[in-house]
Amino acid sequence: MVEHTINATQAVVTLDVALPGIIWGWMITLNMWAKSIGTGVVFVAAYLLYRHKKDAMPNLRWAMPVISFVALNVFLLFTLVDLHQPYRMVNIFLHPHWTSAITVGAWMASLFTLLITILMVIGLADQFTEYFKRGCRVAPVKSLMSFAGSNSGTYEKIFPFVVFLAIPVTAYTAIIMAESSARELWQAPTEVMQMIWAALMAGSAALILVSGSWSQEARKDLALILSIAVFFSFAMYMGEYFFSFKSSEAEATLAYVHAGGAYNVEFWFGMALGFIAPFFLATSTMKNDNVTLLRFAAILALVGLYLAKDVWLKIPQMLPLS
C-alpha cells in the first residue's frame, strides 16, 4: 500500500544544464537516402543486365551511372555541408583514422563516385556520339568524350568492380551507426540489412522512373524487386518496432514513437506511403504492366523511405544521455 501513497521511488531532475537536441538532422537523412539511390541503382542494374539482353533496357547503360552520379553528389554535398568545419574535410584524407567507419566510408564512397563518373562519361560518350562529335562546342568536353568513346570497353571491365564496391559503400553507414554507442536503437544487426533493402528499394524505384522504353519483362523484374524490398524492409521495421529484444535505452527511444506525437505520425505515414502502398501497387502492375501506376509506386517508395529513415535517425537523439 505504501508504494501508492508515498512515491518514494520518484526521482526528478531539478537543476541541470540544457542538453543538445537533434544533432544529426535532415541533412543526414537526405545523405543516407541519396546514398541508397546511388548504390541501389548499381545493384539493380547488375541484376537486370544478368537477366536480360541489353536491348531490353536501351538507356540503362548511361542512365544508371547518371542517376547514381547525381545521387552520390547529393550525398557527398550534404556530408560536407553538415560538417561544422567543412574545409577540414580534407583531414579525412590527410589524417585518416582507420578504426572510424566515417573514414573508411569516406574513402570508399570517394573511390566509388570516381568509378561511377568514369562509367557515366563512357556511357554518355557512347550514347550521344554524334552530338559530342559535331554539336558540342566546348573543346575539352569534346576531346574527353572522344577519348571516353575510344575506351568504351573499360565500362564493362570496371562494372563488376563497381558492383562489388557498392556493397560496402551501402553497408558502411550501418557500421557508423554501430559505432554510435550513445544511440542503441541504431546498434542493431538488422541495420545492415535495412541499408541493403533500402538500396534495393531506392535503386529499383529510381530505375522505374526511367524504364518507359524498356521491355515488359524487364519492368516486371523492377516491380518484383521493389515489392520484395519494401516487403522485407517493412517486416524488419515492424519486428524492431513491436517484437525484438530491446535494451532499456532502445525501449526508451521507441517510446518517442509509441507515445504518439509528431514522430508517430511521420513513422506510420512513411510505413503506409512508402512500404504498404507501393507493395500492393507494384505487385498489381506485374500482370498488366501499368507503367503510370508503377511510377507512382516508385515515387511513393522514395518518399516513404525518406520519412522512415528520418524518424529512425532522430528519435535516439532525443534521449538524455546523462
Partner 1 sequence: MKLGFLVDLNLCMGCKGCEIACKVENDVPLSSWRLRVKYIDIGTFPDTSRSFTPLRCNHCENAPCERICPVSALHYLENGIVNVDSHRCIGCAGCMMACPYGAIYMDPETNTADKCTYCAHRIESGMMPACVVVCPVEANIFGDVEDDHSHISQYIMAHQGGVQVRKPEKHTDPKHYYVGGGTYTLDPLAHQRLEGHNLFTNITHLEHNGDPNHGVLDRFLAPFTSHGTHDNKSFMNFDNTHEQEGGH
The contact pattern for partner 1, residues 150-189, with x = CB under 8 A and - = no contact, is: --------------------------x--xxxxx------
Report d(CA 152, CA 139) in Å as an integer.
Answer: 20
Examine residue 18 and tell whether it contacts partner 1 (CB under 8 A).
yes
- The nearest distance, CB 83 to partner 1, in angstroms, is 5
Q: Which stretch binds partner 1 (CB under 8 A): 14-22, 144-152, 207-215, 286-294?
A: 14-22
DSSP 151: T
Q: Which H/E stretch holds residue 316? A: none
Examine residue 2 and tell whether it contacts partner 1 (CB under 8 A).
no
In degrees, to the nearest 5, what angle opens at C-alpha 153 toward C-alphas 149 and 155?
A: 90
- The nearest distance, CB 30 to partner 1, in angstroms, is 12
Residues 20-79 that bind partner 1 (CB under 8 A): 20-27
Examine residue 95 and tell whether it contacts partner 1 (CB under 8 A).
yes
Among candidates 109, 121, 115, which has minimal Cα distance to 147? 121
Examine residue 266 and tell whether it contacts partner 1 (CB under 8 A).
no
C-alpha cell at 119: 562509367
DSSP 209: T
> Based on CB atoms, which residue is closest to partner 1, 84 or 137?
84
Q: Which stretch binds partner 1 (CB under 8 A): 11-19, 123-131, 136-144, 161-169?
A: 11-19
In degrees, to the nearest 5, what angle opens at C-alpha 54 toward C-alphas 223 and 295?
A: 25
> Based on CB atoms, which residue is closest to partner 1, 17 or 139?
17
Examine residue 322 and tell whether it contacts partner 1 (CB under 8 A).
yes
Separation of CA 154 from chain center = 27
DSSP 18: P
Q: How far is CA 298 from CA 4, 97, 109, 219, 285, in A?
A: 54, 39, 25, 12, 12
Examine residue 12 and tell whether it contacts partner 1 (CB under 8 A).
yes
Residue whose grid cell is 541541470: 16
Examine residue 103 and tell whether it contacts partner 1 (CB under 8 A).
yes
Among candidates 310, 307, 306, which has minimal Cα distance to 37? 306
Binder among 1, 17, 139, 259 for partner 1 (CB under 8 A) = 17
Residues that bind partner 1 (CB under 8 A): 6-27, 81-89, 91-92, 95-97, 99-103, 106, 176, 179-183, 248-249, 252, 317-322
